[in-house]
Structure 1
Amino acid sequence: MKIAVTGGSGFLGQATIRAAEAVGHEAWSFDRAHGNDVLGDLAALKGADTVIHLAGMLGTSELFDDAEAAVQANVVGTLRILRWCQEHDAAYVGVGMPPVFPSVYTATKVCATRLATAWHEAYGLRVSHVRAFNAYGPGQKFGPGHPQKILPTFARAAWEGRPLPVWGDGEQTMDLVHSDDVGRMLVDAAQFGDDVTFDAGTGVAVTVNELARAVLDFTGSTAGVEHLPMRLGETPTRIVARGDGWDRLDWKPEHSWARVEDVVAWYRTAS
């Protein structure tokens, strides 16, 4: 396949391109970092027979102050990619998330997913969806200007001797999935196109408190945790993959504390 990856310079985008190239596909990045915008000229998609669409605005509480821009990027941007795929007979793979949080980001991702289904039903567009759970891996951005993702936030706090910030009581659960597995699933999903959804998760629930204890143990930090009020757009919830789409593949992501520890170690010197 010839695969264009929107947002290909990002965290999951880079993992997706690596996964595509590892199995012999030609893949390239369509990204604002290289002057390409899903709201602008789409000429750099030329030649793709599949578009894996990852570009968009990320954030939870952050997007409430920029909701209109998020709708433009995440919804209108998706619509423009769908239309390009329709006009160029290309397959579309979109990334979504469990629709659990009352956030702007969740609302835009649900809308984008439903738009893709609409284009599949109305025009026969080959569409697949990947529902990404709590992705982690080396290279995930952190610090000012970036959404606060849990593993880099915990790892950096621990290495710097600061208490780990736990929003709420910490008993809410996550499904931790390595970015390499998400990238692989996005590439594998492209071979289907019948509006199928694949869970990019492990099916193993991990509480925030469990992850905090593991990070403190991995780093040897004695700083402990600091419980904070839940952030805007979040509610205490239990998130875990139920296994949608796994029966179509010969593999599934597996939970691994060893991989988590390797990524925590990566953040010791990350800047």
Structure 2
Amino acid sequence: MRVMVTGGAGFIGSALVRHLVLDGGHDVLTVDALTYAGNLESLNPVHDHPRHRFVCADIRDAAAMRAAIGTFRPDRIMHLAAESHVDRSITGADAFITTNIVGTFTLLEAARAYWHGLAPERRAAFRLVHVSTDEVYGSLEGGPGSGGAFQETTPYDPSSPYAASKAAADHLARAWHRTYGLPVIVTNCSNNYGPYHFPEKLIPLTILNALEGKPLPIYGKGENVRDWLYVDDHARALDLIATRGRAGATYNIGGGNERRNIDVVRQICAVLDQLRPAAHAYADLIRFVTDRPGHDARYAIDATLLETELGWRAQENFDSGIMRTVRWYLDNRAWWAPLRDAYAGERLGLYAPERTMRQASA
């Protein structure tokens, strides 16, 4: 199987590439623009593998997408390239609009032209998997396990510029299936965690700040709830969906691990107390900071369709997954230390309306 992965040097994308090459034995073309969140070091396990090749290209570049697809001639395209960090979208939405919406349109058009030129049997087998997020659904109420979860039919209600741009991209992907017949599948996943995670997200930021004795910032009171999915479980789900999923379908992917942010941070601290004891309890570093604008209260995924139709099950629970994640960061300083030089953990996503208005009127 020949698989093209956009955004394959990112966190989830690189996990998928490693799985496809090392576990699946597929020929993989990784396409990535190598922005701040793309890191070739995350592809080191497949760097010299004969089944893997890499192209540095932007999904907004139509000529580059046509060339990559036409040269590689994939059986599947797994589309993960996106601007994905909510805090950055609050103060810099333009990149999210152009990459997530215009870039998805550009890729869909390149894929459609290629697909139309395939022989009938290859056209029937071709799939384009568009990877999205549970954030397009908006916010749920209550604490962990309080009832209600996002289903594939849940109406979209995005809160952040990031979520809105992904919602728009999802609509484009479905429209290209309904209008042109392009065999697209949309997936919506819950919060991912695991190795190779860029250190501005909650879990890696907490681990690295704790190791360096820095404050552990938590938005608001830490009561926001997320459903945590170990990244390798997500990669296995995407491979399964591309292999056996129905064209035109949507599949939600969730770990079934709802946790309040404060409880996630406390659990990381407890693991570090065990694995790397310090002179103080790591939880002493916890600090509550001003909440993020438009911060959704709770996400929870109902993955029943994926589990019953395709037989997928998460292999990691949160306890096992967070232990594996902390151990990986302890053992892989060479991967994350250069990233800390570029991003030391400073607060992102602070919104100052009065400053924005002054800039607009200047």
Q: Give TM-score, length-normalised by structure 2.
A: 0.69
Distance 2:288 2:325 in 1: 23
Distance 1:83 1:222 in 2: 50
Q: Match for 1:38 among 59, 69, 72?
A: 59
Distance 1:132 1:172 in 2: 17
Distance 2:188 2:98 in 1: 21
2:80 maps to what in 1?
54
Using the TM superposition, give the Cα deviation of residue 194 of structure 1 relative to its aligned residue in structure 2, in angstroms.
Answer: 2.3
Distance 1:196 1:247 in 2: 14
1:249 maps to what in 2?
310
2:345 maps to what in 1?
none
1:96 aligns with 2:132: yes
Q: Match for 2:180 among 82, 105, 123?
A: 123
Using the TM superposition, give the Cα deviation of residue 181 of structure 1 relative to its aligned residue in structure 2, in angstroms.
Answer: 1.2
Using the TM superposition, give the Cα deviation of residue 75 of structure 1 relative to its aligned residue in structure 2, in angstroms.
Answer: 0.4
Contact 2:257 2:318 (8 Å CA) reproduced: no
Distance 1:58 1:72 in 2: 13
Gaps of 5+ in 2: 35-54, 116-125, 139-157, 274-281, 338-362
Q: Structure 1 or 2: larger helix share?
A: 2
Distance 2:222 2:182 in 1: 42
Distance 1:129 1:246 in 2: 16
Distance 2:320 2:95 in 1: 38
Higher RCO (Cα < 8 Å, 6 or more apart) = 1
Distance 1:170 1:242 in 2: 23
Q: Match for 2:295 among 231, 234, 255?
A: 234
Q: Deviations over 1:72-122 (max 9, x none)?
A: 110011011111221111421011111225111100111111111111111
Contact 1:7 1:55 (8 Å CA) reproduced: yes
Distance 2:90 2:24 in 1: 40
Contact 1:161 1:222 (8 Å CA) reproduced: no
Q: Percent identity?
A: 29
Gaps of 5+ in 1: 143-147
Q: Secondary structure at the match of 2:129?
A: strand
Q: Deviations over 1:170-199 (max 9, x none)?
A: 121111111111111122111324222222
1:78 maps to what in 2?
104
Distance 1:35 1:194 in 2: 29
Figure out how many residues of one structure are paired with residues of the other and give that number: 265
Distance 2:192 2:198 in 1: 12
2:194 maps to what in 1?
137
Q: Which amino acid aligns with 2:171?
A: R
Larger radius of gyration: 2
Q: Match for 2:162 among 87, 98, 105?
A: 105
Q: Give TM-score, length-normalised by structure 1.
A: 0.91
1:196 maps to what in 2?
249
Using the TM superposition, give the Cα deviation of residue 150 of structure 1 relative to its aligned residue in structure 2, in angstroms.
Answer: 1.0
Q: Secondary structure at the match of 2:222?
A: coil
1:206 aligns with 2:266: no
Q: CA RMSD in A?
A: 1.7
Q: Secondary structure at the match of 2:192?
A: strand
Using the TM superposition, give the Cα deviation of residue 222 of structure 1 relative to its aligned residue in structure 2, in angstroms.
Answer: 4.3
Distance 1:195 1:210 in 2: 37
Contact 2:229 2:256 (8 Å CA) reproduced: no
Distance 1:216 1:60 in 2: 24
Contact 1:168 1:227 (8 Å CA) reproduced: yes
Distance 1:15 1:194 in 2: 24
Contact 2:306 2:312 (8 Å CA) reproduced: no
Using the TM superposition, give the Cα deviation of residue 242 of structure 1 relative to its aligned residue in structure 2, in angstroms.
Answer: 0.8
1:259 aligns with 2:316: no
Q: Secondary structure at the match of 1:176?
A: strand
Distance 2:292 2:247 in 1: 37
Distance 1:63 1:222 in 2: 29
Distance 1:86 1:109 in 2: 20
